[in-house]
Structure formats: structure tokens, C-alpha cells
Chain A
Amino acid sequence: MTRPDADGSGHETSRLGMRAHKNAVGPNPGDGSTERVGNGLNPPPAGITPSSGRRMRNIRLVLVGGGVLLMAWGALVMFDSVRPARIPGVALWIAAAIVLHDGIVAPIVLAGGIALRRAGRRITGTVVVIVQSGIVVGSIVSLIAVPTLVAKNFAPANPTVLPLNYGLNLGIFWVVLAAVTVGLSVWAFLRGRHPAETFPDDSGR
């Protein structure tokens, strides 16, 4: 599992950022492609073209400098208003959030996506995308709705806090969402069987 093509551009590519991004389309798409996805997001150096380079660099320096000042102010506010004994708790929550997202949520989402595509091998890609979309929308709505169920368990301070039947509402939401997703999938499936009339680029797969 080493780098498939050690063309020596590994370091260079990322350093050159966007320029490498363009060039790599050429002779060796197999190797360069995914790397460019990553590199496109990596910081390219200032000065893509010499003329705009200096201005761009100045703007970037101001932004980074200003951002550092804002952050420092935030840190000052934190240490000024929060008792020192409580600050490790903040750090712990931030660290836990990173681990939870990068280590657990993201891989599950990824695996789910792959499994779904795999399961939908014989279906048109559009249908897979629609189903995926439905699941994601439902999950995100659940993400903000499920905590209400938990919080309600702790007996809210008064009956006007969390007054709704959130479990029922979430159930209704999922049923409606499922119906819409199935409806759209059927529609897309039927359309997908006549590729000439529709999604021209879908038929070219």
C-alpha cells in the first residue's frame, strides 16, 4: 500500500497546488486524480500568477493575522470569564467532538454509502442517489429531534418547555419522507429505463 506511482511529484504537487491540479489531468489520470481531490483542498502557496501574487499574499497575511487576533481575544475572554477548573472540560468536549466525527460518524456514513451503492448494483445510479438522499435527510432531522426525546426524560422545568410529542412527530416525518423517497425513486427508475429521452449523461455510464 505504498504510493502507486512515485513520480516524485508527491511533494511538488501539493506545493504547487492549483497548477499541478491542472497538469495532472494529462498523461496519468489514474494516479493523479484522487490526489488532486485532496490537493485541491490543500493550501497552495500564494502567487499563482506573479502579478496577482503579491496582492493575494498581502490579503492572506492580513486575514491570517486578523484571525489570530480574534482567536486570541476569544481565548482571553474564555480565561477571563470561565473558572480555570472548568476549562479542561471545554478542551475535552472539543477533542471528543473531533474523535466522534472523524473516527465514528464519518466512517459510518462512508461505509453506509458504499454498502448502499453496492446493494443497488442493478439499479440506476439516480435511484441510489435518491435513496441515499432520503436517508441523509432523515438522519439529519433525527439528529436535532432525538435530543428532545432525551431531554424530555429529565422532566423539563415546566410543561411549556418541550411540549410536543416529538416521538410521534419524528415517526410521521419518517413515514412522509419514506413515501416521497419511494415515489421519486420509482419515477427516476422508470425514466432511467428510457435513457435516450432523459438524463443523457446517465446513459453514458
Chain B
Amino acid sequence: MMYEAQRALASPVRNPRMATVIGRLLGAAFLVCFGTGLYSHFLQEPQDWMRFATRPEYLYQVTQGTHIIAGIACFPLLLAKLYIVFPDLFAYPPLQGFVHFLERASIALFVGASLVQITIGLLNTYQWYPWPFPFRQVHFALGWVLIGLLVIHIGVKLPIIARYWSKSSGSGDDSGDDDHLVDAVSADRASHAEAVRLSGASRPGGVTGRVLDYIDATPQVTSRVSRRGFLTTVGVATTAVVGLTAGQTFTPLNAVNLFAPRKKGVGQQGVPVNRTSEQAKVADAAMASSWTLTLAVSGTERSFTRAELLALPQTEVRLPIACVEGWSQMANWRGVRLRDLAEMMNAAPETAFRLISLEQRGSFSKTQMGSEYVRDPLTLVALELNGETLDLEHGYPARMIAPGRPGVLQTKWLSRIEAIS
């Protein structure tokens, strides 16, 4: 029965060369996701010794944009890969001892965890969270698990991967090493069909026999056409899902942004919004005339009203807001350099700061900023956005904007900035 199933599943695209070709693309996409994901993680949860690059100022836009682009490319690639190796599900005997069991179990976990990882990642960008666990922690842990499983998988399959890595390793003709394999499959089908025909009335009995008979009566597609068709399909599908969503971060594709969860320029003052003042419950405190921004450095505190901040030297910068969810939006910001404020408070150059929002709850109501950002001339306490007073949804009365950091760390509705000793 298992052999019959495998036979029915035979197809010119289900071969080790194709598994290698698609597998290495998928593996590369996983590694890119993991690398960019780790970068995003450590930006948000830095170890003490970590310092980050502040240039190019669109660095995080690129890394996280790439994370989501490569992540979305995983959908067609993973499905293609699973399509290729599907017959392995019916390997017979199903288990050949403990090592084989471990191998199959690791593959099952690999498949399941990969599907979960890309699904929760995608839905997270839609701000839809239908799962019973915390996204960030699970996505992070699964990232490690998946990379581990990927490395194990490569180790287990290494001889096959090595053998089928390059096209020329086999018979040398244009269609690759696996040709004989495929021809044999065709021959198999042809001979089976022939046998059925010759045997006349004695058609194969049983459900499986009938099903196989039905399948054998389908038109033959040559292996070359099948393979090219398959690769073209994967290529077109990947191009489509990426091309029709990447416009949310990659401006040249803005015009064909049909399916991304964000659209450039859509939002107050031309900038999309993530956390709203309503969600953060800050509207009253932010609009109060008594609002001040307090700076605290080694025991000294000083409070600034918005008017006082506006009276200080103003700097205009052009920086993107780049969200962990992969969208980004370039904008013009105007405000006071954080560096100037730090100097005014006599903070030592290597001082890191804690940024505190009016928001009482929420995981990013208090965040930290390393000295490399504090000292950067592009880092502002922003008071204006795209030529207007900062909208409440963008953090009025004052917010942070710094180069190369995720949006969650560009603290809105600032209330207090204190030196970390």
C-alpha cells in the first residue's frame, strides 16, 4: 500500500535534485529571517556590551523589511519543498529503528514548526493574533529551534545535497542528473498502462487499483516540461507574493502594493500609525497644558514645557519610521537634538538613557537608548512632523526619533528622559 502510494505520487519534480534546488533557497530564506530577526531582537533587548550601527539611518528599515520579504517568500518555497518531498511521508517501512524514528520525528517537527513560524509571523503583521501564546517569545524561541532543525536536516541529508548541488553532477545533459529517474518513472507508467490495456477485462481490482488506473490514464507530461513548469511556478509565485507586498517598505514597488498590511503615505501627516493614543490611554495627559518633559542626569532634574523646547535650537532631519512589522515610512522631523539636551545636563558622553512615555502600561512604555544613539546628531526629541505640529497619534507633545531603530523604540508621548548610571 505504501509503495502504491509512493508510486502514485511519482512525478518528475519529486526528485532529490529538485529537493536540493528548492531546499537551498528555502534554507537561505530561513537564515536571512533568523539573522535579521536576531538583529531586531537585540536592538530591543540589548546585552550590556552591545553597540549598534547608527548608519545608514535606514538600516533597520532594510533589515526588518528584508525579514518580512524573505519571510513571505518562505510561503511558496516551503510549500514547494513539501510538495517535492511528500512521497517521503509514505516511506516504507515507516520506521526502521530508533535513529530512523528520530530522523522522521525531527522532520515532522521541522515541517510543523516552520509552518507555525511563518503563519504567526504573517498574521502578526496584520495585527491579528489568533493563537493562545505570546507572539514575540514563541517566534524568537522557534527561530532557534528551526535553525537547529535546519542544521540537523542538512547534516542528515548532506550526501544527497552534495551530490545534487550542481546540475552537472549527473549525466551532463541540460535537464540534470535525475533524468534517468524520471524516464524510469514514465516507463513505469507506460508499462503499467500497457499491462492494463493488454489484460483487457481484468482491470485491476480494489479501490487502490482503480485509483491508480485512473491516474495512469492521465496524459503524460514530459519530465522537462514538468520540471520547468514547476520551477517557473515557484518563481512566479514567489515574485508575486513578494512583489505585491514589498511596497510597504520598498518605495519602487509602492504602486503595486496590493496586499501588504500598510500603505506608504496612509496615516496622519502621511505616516502610518501603530499604537494609538487610545490604546496607550494617554490622550488626557498628552493634551494637558501642564505637560513637561523632565530630564534627569545624576541627581539633577530639569523640566521643559513644549514652548521651552521649541525655543531651543531646532534641527530638521529626514528619517524613516521602520516598524517591527516590516513597513516603513520616510518623514521629515523637527525638534531638539537629544545630544544638545544631554550636554545641557552635563551628561558624560558615554551615558545611556532611559526613555519614559506617558503611557503607564505597555511593554515599550519604558525603553533604553545606548550612548551611540544619544550622541548621534540625527537623534531628536521631535516636536514637528512633515512641517506640522506632531499629531497626537504620532506622539504629541514630543517623541523620540533616532536613526536605525525599530518604531517601538521611537518612544511616543515622552514624559521623562533619565540617564542610566
Q: Which residues on A are within 8 Å of B, measured CB to CB?
A: 1-4, 10-11, 14, 17-18, 21, 24-25, 29-38, 40-44, 46, 48, 56, 59-64, 66-75, 77-78, 81-82, 86-87, 89-90, 92-95, 97-98, 100-102, 106, 109-110, 114, 117-118, 120-126, 128-130, 132-133, 136-137, 140-141, 143-145, 147-148, 150-151, 154, 156-158, 160-164, 166, 169-170, 172-173, 199, 201-202, 204-205
Contact A118 B240 (CB under 8 A): no
In the complex, chain B residues whose CB is within 8 Å of the CB of A199 = 222, 225
Residue of B nearest to A81 (CB): B137
A29 B187 Cβ-Cβ under 8 A:
yes
Give Cα A30–Cα B230 distance, bound, in whole angstroms: 24
Q: Is B386 an interface residue (CB 8 A)?
A: no
Chain B residues near A162 (CB-CB < 8 A) = 126-127, 261
Q: Which 4 A-B pairs have the closest CB atoms?
A: A63-B155, A74-B144, A70-B148, A71-B148
Q: Is the CB of B258 within 8 A of A60?
A: no
15 sample A-B contacts, Cβ–Cβ < 8 Å, listed by A number: A3-B3, A14-B96, A18-B159, A38-B6, A44-B160, A64-B155, A74-B141, A78-B141, A97-B119, A102-B111, A140-B76, A154-B128, A157-B276, A161-B261, A164-B263
Contacts known (A87-B133, A94-B116); A125 close to B208, Cβ less than 8 A? no
| Proximity string of chain B (150-172) to chain A, C-beta cutoff 8 Å, 1 when within and 0 when not | 11111111111011000000000
B276 proximity list for chain A (CB < 8 A): 157-158
CB distance from A62 to the nearest CB of B (A): 8
A135 to chain B, nearest CB (A): 9
Asked whether A34 lies within 8 Å of B214 as measured between CB atoms, the reply is no
The reply to whether B236 and A133 form a contact with Cβ atoms under 8 Å apart is yes
In-complex Cβ contact of B188 among A30, A41, A95 (8 A): A30
Residues of chain B at interface, number, CB under 8 A: 118
**Contact residues, B201-226 vs A (CB, 8 A):** 206, 208, 214-215, 217-222, 224-226
Does B267 lie at the interface of the complex (its beta carbon under 8 Å from any beta carbon of A)? yes
Distance between Cα atoms of A29 and B86 in the complex (Å): 21
Stretch of B13-21, B47-55, B365-373 that contacts chain A:
B13-21
Residue in A31, A56, A164 with the greatest tally of chain B CB atoms within 10 Å: A164
Query: For residue A163, which residues in chain B have a CB less than 8 angstroms away from its CB?
Result: 262-263, 266
Of residues 228 through 257 on chain B, the ones whose CB sits less than 8 Å from some CB of chain A are: 229, 232-233, 236-237, 240-241, 244-245, 257
In the assembly, what is the distance between CA of A157 and CA of B143, in Å? 27
Chain A contacts for B188, CB-based, 8 A: 29-31, 33-34
Q: Which of B10, B108, B133, B241 has the most CB of A within 10 A?
A: B133
Contact A140 B240 (CB under 8 A): yes
Report the minimal beta-carbon distance from B162 to chain A, rounded to whole angstroms.
8
Residues of A within 8 A of B147 (CB): 70, 74
A residues in contact with B263, CB < 8 Å:
163-164
Contact with A along B284-325 (1 / 0, CB 8 A): 000000000000000000000000000000000000000000
Asked if B6 and A34 make an inter-chain contact with CB atoms under 8 angstroms apart, the answer reads: yes
Q: Which residue of the partner chain, among A61, A82, A144, contacts B122 with CB atoms under 8 Å?
A: A144
Choose one: A43, A109, A123, A160; the contact of B157 (CB below 8 Å): A43
In the complex, A44→B164 CA distance in Å? 13
B143–chain A nearest beta-carbon distance, Å: 7
